[in-house]
Structure 1
Amino acid sequence: MAGGDLGLRLSERRVQDDQSENTHDAIPNGALNEDPDTQAGVARIEAVSRTWDNPSLIIAYLTLFLIANVTSLELQVTSLMTPYATSAFQQHSLVSTVTVVQGVVSAVIKPPMGKIADVFGRLESFTISILLYTIGYIQQAASTNVETFASAQIFWAAGFNGFQILQQIFVADTTDLSNRALFSTLFDVPFLWMVWAGPELSTNILDSTTWRWGYGIWAIIMPICFIPLAGSLWWSQQRAKERGQAIPSALRGQSKFQVLENLWIDLDVFGLLLLAAAVSLILLPLTLAPSAEGKWRNPSMIAMLVTGILFLIVFPFWETSTKLAPRAFFPPNLFRNRTIILGTLIAFFYFMAFYMSVFPYFYSYLLIVQNKSITTAGNITRVFSLSSTVSSIVVSLLIKFTGHYKYYVTVGSCIYLLGMGIMFRYRNEDASTATLVGTQIAIGVGGGFLNVPVQLGVQASASHQQVAAATTVWLTLLEVGGAVGSAISGAIWSTYVPRKLQQYLPAETVANATIIFGDITMSSDYITYPHGSPTRIAINRAYQETMRLLLIGALIAATPIVPLTLFLKNYKLREMKQPVEGRVIGSAERRTGQNGGFWQRWSRRQETSI
C-alpha cells in the first residue's frame, strides 16, 4: 500500500474519531472544518494554491531564502551604523530612543499586517511591506537631523516586521503541518554565517564611504531581490484566473461609501486600533520608565500603562461581539482555544526570561565582572542565537519525522529552565569562558526546542482563515513579554547597581560612583582599577549581586513555562486534516484531486521510509 494512501486513510479515520469524541473543543475541529467566512485575501491564496506548479513554489522559496540572507546581513550592518548616525547629529544618547521606537512599532505592526494579508492578499501585503521598508531606508540615509532619522524607524520597522510575519504566513499557506516547522526555520538559517559577515561589511562601508550608504544600499537591494517572489505570486494568480479559479477582490460595493464600509468591517479597523493602542501604551512606559526622570513616579507613565491595560481588557469584548466585529481580527473561538492561549503565555514568559538574563545586560556583565574583551563578550552572547538556530533546525526535522510537537516543547522548556539555573549557579567572577559558553548553549538549545514547536501548535489550532490572526497575536505577545522583561531588568539594573556602588566603594572612589555606573569603559577598566584593588572588588561585587537579582527574576519567569507545556493539546500532525486548501509541500495528496507532482512523490518517499 502506498505511504500516501495509508496516511490519507488514517487521517480521515482520525478526523472522524476526533469530531465524534470531542465536538465541543474548538480546535483542531476549527482547523478541520471549512470556514464559511473566508476573506478575499485568503480565498486568493487558496485559488493560487490549487494551481501551484513546482517552478513557482521553488522560485518563491528561493527568493524568500535570498531575502532572509539579505535581511540578516542588513541587521548586522545597520546595528553598527546607528551609533555613527546619531553621533553625526550630536545626539548619540538617543540610540535608546531609536531602539524604543523600533520595539513599539515591531509589536504594533504585526496584527494589522496579518489582517491586510487576509483581506487584500499575500502579494499585495508583501508589496506594502517592501515599500515601507524601502521608504524607511531612504529616509534614514537622507536624514538631516535625529528627529527625521528616528521617525524613519517607523517605516523601517513596519516594513521589516511586516515582511517577517508574512514569511511565516506564506509558510502556513504552502506547507502541511508536518513540514511547517522545518520551513519556518529556513529563514533563520542565514544567521549562522551572516553574523560573522556583518562587522566586516560595516568596516568596509565606513572606510570607503559614509554611514549613510550603510542604510541606503538596502533601499536598492531589497526591491530587486523581491522581484522574483512578486513575479511568482502574480503569475500564479493569473494562471489561477485562466483555469477558472475565483480571485475575489476586497474592494467590493456599488459606491465609494459601501467600499469603505466593507473595508472597515473586513479589516476590523477599530479592533486593530484598540489592540495597537493597548500594546503601544503598555510598551512605551515599560521601555521608557527605567530611564525616565522620576521613573514610575512620573504620572504620565502610570497614565499610559493604566490606559493601555484598560484598552487590552476591552479588546476581547469587542472581538467577541458579532454585531460590533462581524469580521473580527481575532475570532471568538480562538479566545476559547486552550493551545492558543497556553502558546501565547509560553511565548510571553519565554521572552520575558530571555530579556532578564541573556539580553541586554549579560554583555555588560561579561565586560565588567568577567573582564572579557569586547570580541570575546560579543562572541559569548552570540552563542545563544547560534545554538537556538541549530536546535530549531534539529527539532523541526524531529517534528517532520515523528509527526508530534508537544513532547519537544516540554523538553525544551525543561532545558531552558535548566540553562537559566546553570547561568545563575555560574554567575561568579571566577567562572571559566567554557562554563559561560556552556550556559548559553543550554539556554539556546532549550529556546530552539521551545519556540518553533509552540508556534506550530498555535498554527495547528487555527483554520486557514484564522492562521494569520493566531500567528500575529502569538508574535505580538512574544514582543510584549520581551518588553516586560526588559523593563524589569532595566529597573533592577538602574536601581541596584548605583545603590550597591555607593555601599561598597571605598572612601577614595565613592564620589565616582555615578561616573562608574554611567560609563562602561570606566567600570570595565582593569588598568585604573586592577584585580584585587578595593575599588575593583567593590565594582565587581555590585554588578555580580545585581546580576544575581536579574537571574532570580529570569528563573521565576521561566518556571511557569514547564507546567504550561503539559496542558497543550497533543496533536498528531500526520493524522490531522490540513487546514490549507490546494497544493502544499509535504501533503500526501493534492487537494485538487490530481495525483503526482514533485512534492507529493517526495512526501510519499519520506512516509514510506519511516
Structure 2
Amino acid sequence: MAEPAESTPQQHYGAMSDDGNDEEQSLLSSNEIQQGVESIEAISQSWSRRSLIVAYLGILLLAFATSLEVQTTSNLTVYATSAFAAHSLVSTVLVVQSIVNAVVKAPMAKFANVFGRLEAFTLSIGLYVLGYAQMAASSNVQTFASAQIFYSAGSQGLQILQQIFIADTSCLLNRALLSGLPDQPFLITVWVGPVIADTVLDKLTWRWGYAVWLIVLPIAFSPLAFSLLWNMKKANNVQLLPRGIRRQRSVLDFVRKLWLDLDVVGLVLLSASVSLILLPLTIAAKTTAKWHNASIITMLIAGVIGLLVFPLWETSAKLAPSPFLSLRLLTNRTVLAGCAIGFFYFSVFYTSVQPYFSSYLQVVHSQSVTAAGHVVNIFNFSSTITNVLIALVIKYTGHYKYFVTVGGCIYLLGVSLVKLYRSEESSIGMIIATQIAMGVGVSIVHVPTQLGIQASVAHADVAAATAIFLTSVEIGGAVGSAISGALWSSNVLSKLELYLPSRTKADAPTIFANLTIAKSYPKGSLEKLAIERSYQETMDVILAVAACLAAPIIPLSFVLKSYRLDGARKKDNVADDDNGMRDERTEHSGLLGRVKGKWIRQLLGN
C-alpha cells in the first residue's frame, strides 16, 4: 500500500504559462471544492500499483465494450423500427439521441463533483442498462424511442466520466496519450461489430442484440468499480475521505444543500437552452415549412435567450453558491477559445463527412454500401491513429498550443483539398487521401485543445471545463448537420427538377427521397447524369461552407494561452492568494503528483 502523501490546503491542477503568470487559474478555497472532488483527491493518495493498473485496464475494457456495442447496435436500429412498421421513424430516434448526447454531459460532470466518481460511473452504467432493457422489451416504436433517453444519458455519461477519471489520475504531459485510450478499440470493433449484428439477426432476433449488453456492460465495469471501491475503503480507513453530504441536521437541510450543490436551476437552464437550440436545428429540414415554421423560430430564440441568461445565473453568488460554470471559467480565455474551436471543427465534420458523404459516394462514384462505409471511416481511422502520435509529441515537447495552430492549418488544407478533389473525375484513391488529411488535422486540433482547457483550470473545475468543451463539440455537430441538411434539401431537389429529362421530371421528389431509386438508373443514362450532376453541385456548395467553418480555428488557436506542460515538474514560487491559501506546485501536475512511489511516476507521471 502506498503511504499517503502529505496534503496541502490547496492543490493547483494546471500548468504554468510561458510568461510565468497564471492569472487565469484561480485559486480555490477549501469550501469551494465539492465532496466528489475531495473524494478522488483522497482516493488518489491510496493507490497501489495493482489497483491503479486494474483501474486503467478497467477503463480500456469498458471502452472496448461500449465501442463494440455501438458498432453492433447501430446496425440493428432499422430492424427494430421496421419490426414496429415504423422504419421512417429512425430519424426520430436519432434526434432524441443527438439532443440527450449534448445536454447530459454537464449534469453528469456536476453529479461526479458532488457525489463522487464511482457513484457517477455506477449511475451511468445503470442508465445504460435501463435503456437497453427497455429497448429489448419494447412493444412499440414509442417505447423504443423513449429508451434512447436512458441509453444516451448512460453512454454519454460514461464518455465524459472516462475523460474526467483520466484527468484525475494523470499528469498533463501524459494525459493526451491516456485520454485517447477510450478511442483505440474502434480500430477493432468497427470490423467486428457488423459481423456480430449479422450473426444476431441470422441466429437470434434483434432484441437479443440489445439484451446481451445488460450482462456485458456491468461485467466490463466491474474491474474499474472494484479498484475505485477498494481505494475508497483504504482512504476511509485512514480518515482521508470528506464528510458525507448526507450528514445534515434535517431532511430539509439535506435537500437544500443538495439542491445548491448540484446547481439544479443552472443545469436545467443550460440543458433546456441547448435542447431548444438543437431541436429546431435537427427537425427544421424535415418539416414542410422548414425555417418558416413559427414554432421552430420560437424555440431557437428561447434557447439563445436561455444561454444568455445562464452565465448571469451562474455568476450570482446568492442564486448559485455552487455554480457548475463559475466566473473563473466564464472569463478564462483558454476555455472560451477552446470551446469555440470544438464547435467549429465538429461542425465541419457534419458538413463535409456526415451525413451525406456516403450517399454521394454511392450515387456519383457507384460505390457499394460497404465500400462507401469504408471510405467514410477512413476519417475516423486516421484521426484515431493520429491521436496517439500527437499525444507522444506533446509528451516529449511539453507544449500544446502550437499544435492546435498546426492542426487547424492541416484541417483547413484537408477541407480545401476535399473541395478540390471530391468530384466525379477524381479517383477513389484521391478521395481517400483527402479524408486522411482531414482526419490527421482534426486529431491534432482536438487532443491538444482538450488538454489545454484542462491545463488552464484548477482540479475542482476540470469536470465542468471538460463537460462544457464536449457539449460545445456536440452543439457544433448539430449546427453542421442542420446546415448540410438545409443545403442538401434545398439544392438537390431543385437541381433534379432542373436537370432531369422531361420524361422523368415528375419523379424528382421520389428520386430525391429514395437513395435506392437514385442508384437504380443505368450508368450513362440521361437520368443518371442528371442525378450525378445534382449531387455533385450540391456537394460543392456544402464543402465551400465547410471550408468557411474551418477557417476560424486558426485565429482562435492564437487566443489560447501557451502553458508549459512540463513546467509543473519544477517547484515554482509559492504565492499566497487573498485568502491566505498557499499554491504549492509539487513535482507533478495532476493528483498522482502527490502519490509516493517511483513506479506510479513512471507509469503515469514523468
TM-score between the two structures when normalised by the length of structure 1: 0.92
Amino acid at match of 1:530: K
Map 1:241-280 → 2, pairs under 5 A? 241-280=236-275
Give the structure 2 partner of residue 344 of structure 1. 339
In the alignment, is residue 234 of structure 1 matched against residue 208 of structure 2?
Answer: no
Judged with a 3 Å threshold, the aligned counterparts in structure 2 of structure 1 residues 560 and 17 are, in CA distance, closer, same or farther, namely closer
Cα-to-partner distance string for 1:260-304 (whole Å, 9 max, x where unaligned): 000111000000000000000000000011111211111111111
Give the structure 1 partner of residue 546 of structure 2. 554
Residue of structure 2 aligned with 1:40, choices 35, 39, 50: 35
Give the structure 2 partner of residue 537 of structure 1. 529
Map 1:317-336 → 2, pairs under 5 A? 317-336=312-331
In the alignment, is residue 591 of structure 1 matched against residue 583 of structure 2?
Answer: no
In the alignment, is residue 298 of structure 1 matched against residue 296 of structure 2?
Answer: no
Q: 1:538: Cα distance to partner?
A: 1.1
Residue of structure 1 aligned with 2:555, choices 558, 563, 574: 563
In the alignment, is residue 510 of structure 1 matched against residue 505 of structure 2?
Answer: yes
Q: Distance in 2 between matches of 1:64 and 1:53?
A: 17
Kept in 1, the 8 Å contact 2:95–2:282? The answer is yes
Q: Distance in 1 between matches of 2:590 and 2:601?
A: 6
Q: Which secondary structure state, in structure 2, belongs to the residue aligned with residue 328 of structure 1?
A: coil
- Percent identity over the alignment is 51
Judged with a 3 Å threshold, the aligned counterparts in structure 2 of structure 1 residues 491 and 207 are, in CA distance, closer, same or farther, namely same
Q: Which secondary structure state, in structure 2, belongs to the residue aligned with residue 80 of structure 1?
A: coil
Q: Distance in 2 between matches of 1:562 and 1:244?
A: 49
Cα-to-partner distance string for 1:8-51 (whole Å, 9 max, x where unaligned): xxxx9x989989x646x223xx3x76654110000000010111
Map 1:348-497 → 2, pairs under 5 A? 348-497=343-492
Give the structure 2 partner of residue 575 of structure 1. 567
Amino acid at match of 1:499: S
Q: Distance in 2 between matches of 1:549 and 1:342?
A: 27
Cα-to-partner distance string for 1:535-593 (whole Å, 9 max, x where unaligned): 1221111111100110011001000001111221111001137999999999798425x
Q: 1:174: Cα distance to partner?
A: 0.2
Q: Which secondary structure state, in structure 1, belongs to the residue aligned with residue 563 of structure 2?
A: coil
- Runs of 4+ in structure 1 off by over 4 angstroms are 14-19, 32-36, 577-590, 601-604
Kept in 2, the 8 Å contact 1:516–1:523? The answer is yes
Amino acid at match of 1:542: S
Q: Distance in 2 between matches of 1:587 and 1:42?
A: 12
Residue of structure 2 aligned with 1:314, choices 295, 309, 315: 309
5+ long unaligned stretches in structure 1: 1-11
Amino acid at match of 2:34: Q
Give the structure 1 partner of residue 98 of structure 2. 103
Kept in 2, the 8 Å contact 1:173–1:580? The answer is no
Judged with a 3 Å threshold, the aligned counterparts in structure 2 of structure 1 residues 373 and 585 are, in CA distance, closer, same or farther, namely farther
Amino acid at match of 1:565: S
Amino acid at match of 1:569: K
Residue of structure 2 aligned with 1:150, choices 124, 145, 152: 145
Judged with a 3 Å threshold, the aligned counterparts in structure 2 of structure 1 residues 100 and 218 are, in CA distance, closer, same or farther, namely same
Q: Distance in 2 between matches of 1:345 and 1:143?
A: 39
Amino acid at match of 1:355: Y
Q: 1:243: Cα distance to partner?
A: 1.7
Judged with a 3 Å threshold, the aligned counterparts in structure 2 of structure 1 residues 586 and 190 are, in CA distance, closer, same or farther, namely farther
Q: Distance in 2 between matches of 1:589 and 1:262?
A: 30
Q: Distance in 1 between matches of 2:138 and 2:402?
A: 50
Q: Distance in 2 between matches of 1:17 and 1:570?
A: 6
Which deviates more from structure 2 when the two are superposed, residues 481-490 or residues 370-379? 370-379
Q: Distance in 2 between matches of 1:568 and 1:194?
A: 35
Judged with a 3 Å threshold, the aligned counterparts in structure 2 of structure 1 residues 581 and 482 are, in CA distance, closer, same or farther, namely farther
Q: Distance in 2 between matches of 1:252 and 1:40?
A: 12
Map 1:74-89 → 2, pairs under 5 A? 74-89=69-84
Kept in 2, the 8 Å contact 1:413–1:561? The answer is yes
Kept in 1, the 8 Å contact 2:167–2:590? The answer is no
The two structures, once aligned, show a CA RMSD in angstroms of 2.3
Q: 1:247: Cα distance to partner?
A: 3.0
Q: Which secondary structure state, in structure 1, belongs to the residue aligned with residue 528 of structure 2?
A: helix
How many residues of Structure 1 are paired with residues of Structure 2 in the alignment?
584
Q: Distance in 2 between matches of 1:386 and 1:549?
A: 26
Q: 1:427: Cα distance to partner?
A: 2.1
Amino acid at match of 2:267: L
Kept in 2, the 8 Å contact 1:275–1:311? The answer is yes
Q: Distance in 1 between matches of 2:91 and 2:33?
A: 42
Q: 1:237: Cα distance to partner?
A: 0.5
Q: Which secondary structure state, in structure 2, belongs to the residue aligned with residue 164 of structure 1?
A: helix
Which deviates more from structure 2 when the two are superposed, residues 36-45 or residues 572-581? 572-581
Q: Which secondary structure state, in structure 2, belongs to the residue aligned with residue 356 of structure 1?
A: helix
Q: Distance in 1 between matches of 2:175 and 2:588?
A: 9
Q: Which secondary structure state, in structure 1, belongs to the residue aligned with residue 55 of structure 2?
A: helix
5+ long unaligned stretches in structure 2: 1-11, 571-581
Q: Which secondary structure state, in structure 2, belongs to the residue aligned with residue 355 of structure 1?
A: helix
In the alignment, is residue 164 of structure 1 matched against residue 165 of structure 2?
Answer: no
Give the structure 2 partner of residue 3 of structure 1. none
Amino acid at match of 1:551: L
Judged with a 3 Å threshold, the aligned counterparts in structure 2 of structure 1 residues 293 and 410 are, in CA distance, closer, same or farther, namely same
Amino acid at match of 1:434: G
Cα-to-partner distance string for 1:159-190 (whole Å, 9 max, x where unaligned): 01001100000001000100111100011000
Amino acid at match of 1:600: R
Kept in 2, the 8 Å contact 1:366–1:372? The answer is yes
Kept in 1, the 8 Å contact 2:496–2:508? The answer is yes
Q: Distance in 2 between matches of 1:17 and 1:416?
A: 26
Kept in 2, the 8 Å contact 1:109–1:158? The answer is yes
Q: Distance in 2 between matches of 1:188 and 1:156?
A: 19
Cα-to-partner distance string for 1:370-424 (whole Å, 9 max, x where unaligned): 1112121111000000000000110011111111111111111111100100000
Kept in 1, the 8 Å contact 2:15–2:456? The answer is no
TM-score between the two structures when normalised by the length of structure 2: 0.93
